[in-house]
Amino acid sequence: MNARSHAIFPRVNRAGWIDTLRVMTRVIVPTVAKGTIIRRQTMERLAERQSLHIRAVKEMQRLKDKYGPSPLLLPIPFRPQLLILDPADLATVLRSSPEPFAAATAEKHAALAHFEPENVLISSTARRAELRPAHEHALATADRLHPYSIHFKRIVDAEFLQLISGIGSNRPNELDWLGFSQAWLRVVRRVVLGERARNDVTLTETLNELRERANWPFTARVDRRKLALFHQQLAGYLGEPDKHSLVGRLPTSDQIAWEDQVAQWLFAFDAAGIAVMRTLALLASHASYWAPAVEEAMGGRLDRPFTRSCLLEALRLWPATPAILRHVTTEIRSADRIVPSGAGVVIFAPFFHRNPALLYANRMEPSIWGENDALPDAGLVPFSAGPVICPAHNLVPTIASLAVGTVLSESGLALIDPVLPVDNLPGTLDHFAIRLRLSARRREK
């Protein structure tokens, strides 16, 4: 490992203090302010209006122009950070996880300790080796379609058909985030925990309260009473698991805190719902992509590659995880510079996803994905990549594309708010503000 770490980066540059401060104020702080664990509505609105992500991308490009494409060491006291500026180095870092680039960073520990303190994401390498296979089995990581996909489609259809049929009580024929998210969370609870959890809004509220505290890592104390309450709420579903739920695929073991593993699934599906809403907004704005998506939805197949690619585009344009973090486990030597063990590594996804060198940087282009859900050599990693890729990188697009398909098969869509210029899509799309007008779909007799 040491020999490899010596040669992992041919060169590492060091940023000056002023540039380090600019990265903190123009890239890191705005990203954290939006909410890394649960989105803050006010900050989402501000980020969209002030184009904060576009400014951050421009700042990153300025650094690359000034220092070159090699990783840039930010000399932050007590916690230096290595900023990745080139897709080749991004691919190297992700392919070389968890050693020497571990996913269990101090920042993740401080945040996730609030609601999933023994989760695989913040486990040691040895513990990760025990936990990861259970996640991969339950989520069917290696399978494009989950074994329960037919059952999951029934859940998605039931919840979204009910949503569509009920629209009109407040704003006639309009779908907004509030209505969408309620239906989505019912889907998530049924998929993850089973039928008994469908209306367990209290469990979701408890988790969200813990996530709000997790938005303040290193500052807010862990609410251990609420965490214990959350574990108690989950215990009933874990003790008698629904055989067609994700928890029903977990092995029996008293040595593993299953509550902390399942909490991550519930948390991560929240971001998937945001991506679905943004995908609907994109399709409503792109007539050329709308038609094949509708055709695919009407075809009824479980695997929907075009819709899946549209979802990946929503995640490329507006990443669910803007900053992918790692930390260095072994000292790295590069020319005359040393990256110390314990240094952080920051991959700012929007910088790569909106790379000005890409002809499609600021527009929708589903064709780039093919059968892939990650293109690390191009810097496009909606679900990360490498050995610690999100274990739900197949499951989430399946359920999300089914949700998109149910809406499209039943309704025509028009985007009311916001206006999306298709040739220059904004750096932030505030999902809280999306409003779609639905119209009944004519069916051939």
Tens-digit pLDDT profile for residues 32-81 = 999 999 999 999 999 999 999 999 999 999 999 999 999 999 999 999 99
**Residue 442 — very low, low, confident or very high, per pLDDT cuts 50/70/90?**
low
**Residue 443 — very low, low, confident or very high, per pLDDT cuts 50/70/90?**
low
Cα separations in angstroms, 22 against 12, 58, 325, 414: 19, 12, 19, 40
* pLDDT of 2 strictly over 70: no
* pLDDT of 85 strictly over 60: yes
Q: Tell me what percent of the residues of the chain surpass a pLDDT of 90.
A: 90
**Residue 322 — very low, low, confident or very high, per pLDDT cuts 50/70/90?**
very high
Please check whether residue 26 is in contact with residue 59, taking contact to mean a CB–CB distance below 8 angstroms. yes
Please check whether residue 435 is in contact with residue 416, taking contact to mean a CB–CB distance below 8 angstroms. yes
From the CB of residue 165, how many other CB atoms can be counted at a distance below 10 Å?
9
Say if residue 367 is exposed, middle or buried (CB neighbours under 10 Å; 0-12, 13-18, 19+): exposed
Q: What is the mean pLDDT of residues 88-110?
A: 95
Q: Which amino acid is at 190?
A: R
* Of the candidates 382, 348, 362, 352, the residue with the CA atom closest to the CA atom of residue 27: 348
**Residue 431 — very low, low, confident or very high, per pLDDT cuts 50/70/90?**
very high
Say if residue 278 is exposed, middle or buried (CB neighbours under 10 Å; 0-12, 13-18, 19+): buried
- Residue 384 bridge partners (DSSP): 382
* pLDDT of 131 strictly over 50: yes
pLDDT on residue 169: 55
Q: Which three-class secondary structure string do you get for the chain?
A: CHHHHHCCCCCCEECCHHHHHHHHHHHHHHHHHCCCCCCCHHHHHHHHHHCHHHHHHHHHHHHHHHHCCCCEEECCCCCCEEECCCHHHHHHHHHCCCCCEECCCHHHHHHHCCCCCCCHHHCCHHHHHHHHHHHHHHHCCCCCCCCCHHHHHHHHHHHHHHHHHHCCCCCCCEEEHHHHHHHHHHHHHHHHHCHHHCCCHHHHHHHHHHHHHHCCCCCCCCCHHHHHHHHHHHHHHHHCCCCCCCHHHCCCCCCCCHHHHHHHHHHHHHHHHHHHHHHHHHHHHCHHHHHHHHHHHHHCCCCCHHHHHHHHHHHHHCCCCCEEEEEECCCEEECCEEECCCCEEEEEHHHHHCCCCCCCCCCCCHHHCCCCCCEHHHCECECECHHHCCCCCCHHHHHHHHHHHHHHHHEEEEEEECCCCCCCCCCCCCHHHCEEEEEECCCCC
pLDDT on residue 376: 95
* Of the candidates 183, 178, 179, the residue with the CA atom closest to the CA atom of residue 160: 183
From the CB of residue 31, how many other CB atoms can be counted at a distance below 10 Å?
20
Alpha-carbon gap, residue 55 to 392, rounded angstroms? 31
Q: What is the mean pLDDT of residues 376-387?
A: 96
pLDDT on residue 5: 44
Q: What is the mean pLDDT of the chain?
A: 94
How does strand 323-328 pair with strand 174-176?
unpaired
From the CB of residue 431, how many other CB atoms can be counted at a distance below 10 Å?
23
Q: What is the mean pLDDT of residues 76-95?
A: 96
* pLDDT of 146 strictly over 60: yes
Q: Which amino acid is at 250?
A: L
From the CB of residue 418, how many other CB atoms can be counted at a distance below 10 Å?
15
**Residue 1 — very low, low, confident or very high, per pLDDT cuts 50/70/90?**
very low
Please check whether residue 429 is in contact with residue 318, taking contact to mean a CB–CB distance below 8 angstroms. yes
What tokens appear for 15 in the block? 């940023």
**Residue 6 — very low, low, confident or very high, per pLDDT cuts 50/70/90?**
very low
pLDDT on residue 281: 98
pLDDT on residue 166: 78
**Residue 170 — very low, low, confident or very high, per pLDDT cuts 50/70/90?**
low
pLDDT on residue 7: 65
Vertex 352, ends 345 and 139: CA angle to 5°? Answer: 75
**End-to-end Cα separation, the chain, in angstroms:** 66
Q: What is the mean pLDDT of residues 291-312?
A: 96
Q: What is the mean pLDDT of residues 209-224?
A: 96
**pLDDT tens figures, 329-355:** 999 988 878 999 999 999 999 999 999
Instruction: Compute CA 204 distance to the chain's CA centroid, rounded to the nearest angstrom.
Output: 18
Helix axes 395-410, 287-299, angle to 10 degrees: 100
